[in-house]
Amino acid sequence: MKKYDAQSIRNLCFVSHGGVGKTSLAEALCFTTKGFPRLGKTANGTSTFDHRADEKERRMTISMHPGFCEWKETKINFLDTPGFLDLAGDIHAAVRVVESAVVLVDAASGIQVGTECALRIVSGANLPHLFLINGLDKDGADFEAALSALKEQFKTAIAPVHLPIGKGAGFKGIVDLITLEAFEYAREGSGIGQKIEVPAGLADSIKTHRLALMESVAETDETLMNAYFDKGELSVDELRQGLAAGLARNSLYPVLCASAALNMGTDLLLDAMVQFSPPAASRKEIQALEGQAQKPVACSPAAPMTALVFKTISEEHIGEFNLVRVFSGRLALGTEVQNNTRNISEKPMNLYLLRGHDRTEAGELVAGDIGALLKLKGTHTSDTLADRGQNLLLPPIAFPEPLVSIAIHPKTKGDEDKIGLGLAKLREEDPSFTFKYHPDIRQELISAMGDVHIDMVLDNLKSRFKVEVDRTPPRISYRETVTRSVQYVEYAHKKQTGGAGQYAKVAIDLEPLPRGSGYEFVDKIVGGVIDQPFRPAVDKGARAKMETGILAGYPIVDVRVLLVDGKTHPVDSKDIAFQIAGREVFKLAFEKAGPILLEPIVDLRVTVPDKNTGDVMGDLSSRRGKISGMEPGVSYQTIVAKVPEAEIQNYSQALRSITQGRGFYTKSFSHYDPVPHELARKIIEASKKELKEETE
């Protein structure tokens, strides 16, 4: 295919609520530009993008899929992202490597929950974006209502560029408000509109919306404002230049319309991408790390090569594709490069441009372009590739923290290794979930963005790696500590077996430390009542007991052990004897020092619509939460609270129910607090019973 420089490349991602038509749009773009011979459909399983078995079964996009097309001497790279909230990790990856986004809004349903969430990610990345009101052929489609909803949120920054001709079954074309031209489309046709006379019945609506467009454009630039005041209108060129400049500054949001499923309006969207979306060359210098210093990386083919791997895709019978965005230089086939993240060398021998599961061979990728490398040895998502001798590291992708966890156990004994290998492979494709063995609760945990996300991970584990697991709620990572000091607690260890014996006598003081201090051992032996080589063994024994716990089997924290006295035997004293004595004397002292159970407290930030604030605060209070503040937003409130972790294990489902899916939250560990007495008693009893069952 033709070679393009960064000025002629557009990189965009498609984001929205699930089912609004992102994948249909990807299919339509490729068909209209003659990249595909037919118009694929998600509904009947013929989509080139949603091609995975689980995507066909669920009829939804589960993983980001790249595509590209050529239009009017421009290469357009696009990333089709999942619309389901649990899979938003791919949107975080996509916004790192594109210059703009297309936010799809359903013409019948308006701005939905998933679209709101995607918009937060796009806006948080300060990424320019345009809106596409899609599905104008649907029953109940209402362009004016969807446009009003956008204006309510974004005010005059919303700039309508299109006006539909008809709606629902009567939708047949689009008026371009910039050129005042009208186009009619065949349903499921070529995607190229036929120019027609502007319908007379739309004259008033066209006048109103074009005036709103000119005012929105003029408000973003003083020169355009003066021109508008002088002439009373803006020319076609001024409108186009103003829209492009306003979009690039993220101060103006063009609004277009289409029916992606029927391939109507695709050509006008392609025109808008070329005319308004910032080119790859406009990318501001990104900051890379060279050692401890920051170094700017410019989008230039003449600079040394740096590229970021932003997604790993596993294809059955083919291998792993690493999707890369080249930020500078040239990534050429067969040229050795460095993976600076993992300190290994790679030699790309297979370089492709992907359209869903279709691939086109490429000789190189230049600065600003996106492509895929096949079968690299050890390269994964968020890794930096660079020319040899260039020790640059691009910032890794910041994926959201997982919110929901489950404990897993193999259904078949001996499958532990298969589970670990399978999950490691899946996590290379989807870094937004984690898995880890937690020794303090003795469980392997999978943590993901939601319940459906976990279901998808386990379904893939079963279908692709032929291993099944049982799932249980995770234990809470409690801690044990003491509330008061005790002095001179002693213990003597004696053992005679006929041969060499064991003897150790120790006395300790035990003191509580401030929360979060950990553990401290103080040797206060005066004289030589305990030989110096044996004293560290007392510390080792105490530490061993702290790891296994005493009250309920949880680690002990925030205590100081002071070794104050003891006795040795000239023959029978040994290191192991003082370890045992240290362990047992610590247990005796701990039981006398007012032991309590501590529970983890998390900082919770819950963002909900205004109307749900009271219900959510009431629910948090019922979970022993302490509200510490409120942060107002546009039609949303963020509730800040500290809540026991044990009370929010099912919070994702509860919040979804209270807010009809419109609420979202983040959490992070805050501190440990004492568990209320009655609750602690139940936890201790249950834990002792569980430990007994595990050892039987």
- Other Cβ atoms within 10 Å of 690 Cβ, number: 14
Distance CA 497, CA 502 (A): 9
Contact between 89 and 400 under an 8 Å Cβ cutoff? The reply is yes
pLDDT at 382: 95
Residue closest to 381 by CA, chosen among 321, 465, 331: 321
Distance CA 256, CA 436 (A): 46
Residue closest to 508 by CA, chosen among 535, 477, 475: 535
* pLDDT average, residue stretch 550-579: 94
Q: With cut-offs at 50, 70 and 90, classify the pLDDT of residue 570.
A: confident
pLDDT at 189: 94
* pLDDT average, residue stretch 499-503: 82
1 has pLDDT over 80: no
pLDDT at 538: 97
pLDDT at 634: 67
Higher model confidence: residue 47 or residue 491?
A: 491
**b/e sequence 333-362, b meaning 16+ C-beta within 10 Å:** eeeebbbbbeeeebebebbbbbbbeebeeb
Which domains can be identified in the chain, with CATH numbers? 6-202+252-281 (3.40.50.300), 286-393 (2.40.30.10), 404-472 (3.30.70.870), 480-593 (3.30.230.10), 597-678 (3.30.70.240)
Burial class from Cβ neighbours inside 10 Å (0-12, 13-18, 19+) for residue 488 reads exposed
> Phi and psi dihedrals of 218, rounded to 5?
-60, -35
229-287 pLDDT tens trace: 999 999 999 999 999 999 999 999 999 999 999 999 999 999 999 999 999 999 877 88
498 has pLDDT over 70: no
587 has pLDDT over 90: yes
> Strands 9-15 and 75-80: what pairing?
parallel
Higher model confidence: residue 364 or residue 688?
A: 364
pLDDT at 373: 96
159 has pLDDT over 90: yes
Contact between 368 and 11 under an 8 Å Cβ cutoff? The reply is yes
Contact between 253 and 247 under an 8 Å Cβ cutoff? The reply is yes
pLDDT at 528: 85
56 has pLDDT over 80: no
pLDDT at 696: 61
* Choice among 23-32, 72-81, 305-314, 434-443 with the minimum mean pLDDT: 434-443
pLDDT at 45: 82
Residue closest to 637 by CA, chosen among 604, 656, 611: 611
What mean pLDDT is reported for the chain?
93
130 has pLDDT over 80: yes
Query: Which residues neighbour 465 within 8 Å (Cβ) at sequence distance 6 or greater?
Result: 418, 421, 422, 425
* pLDDT average, residue stretch 661-680: 92
Contact between 608 and 636 under an 8 Å Cβ cutoff? The reply is yes
528-542 pLDDT tens trace: 899 999 999 999 999
Q: With cut-offs at 50, 70 and 90, classify the pLDDT of residue 43.
A: confident
Type of residue found at 634: V
472 has pLDDT over 80: yes
Residue closest to 352 by CA, chosen among 338, 331, 380: 331
Residue 518: left if φ>0, alpha if ψ -120 to 50, beta else—which one? left
Q: What is the DSSP string of 453-513?
A: HHHHHHHHHHHHH---EEEEPPPP--EEEESS-EEEEEEEEEE--SSS-EEEEEEEEEEE-
414-426 pLDDT tens trace: 888 999 999 998 9
pLDDT at 636: 82
Query: Which residues neighbour 15 within 8 Å (Cβ) at sequence distance 6 or greater?
Result: 22, 81, 83, 91, 94, 101, 102, 103, 104, 115, 118, 119, 121, 122
| Paired tokens of 532 | 């110096």
24 has pLDDT over 70: yes
Contact between 609 and 636 under an 8 Å Cβ cutoff? The reply is yes
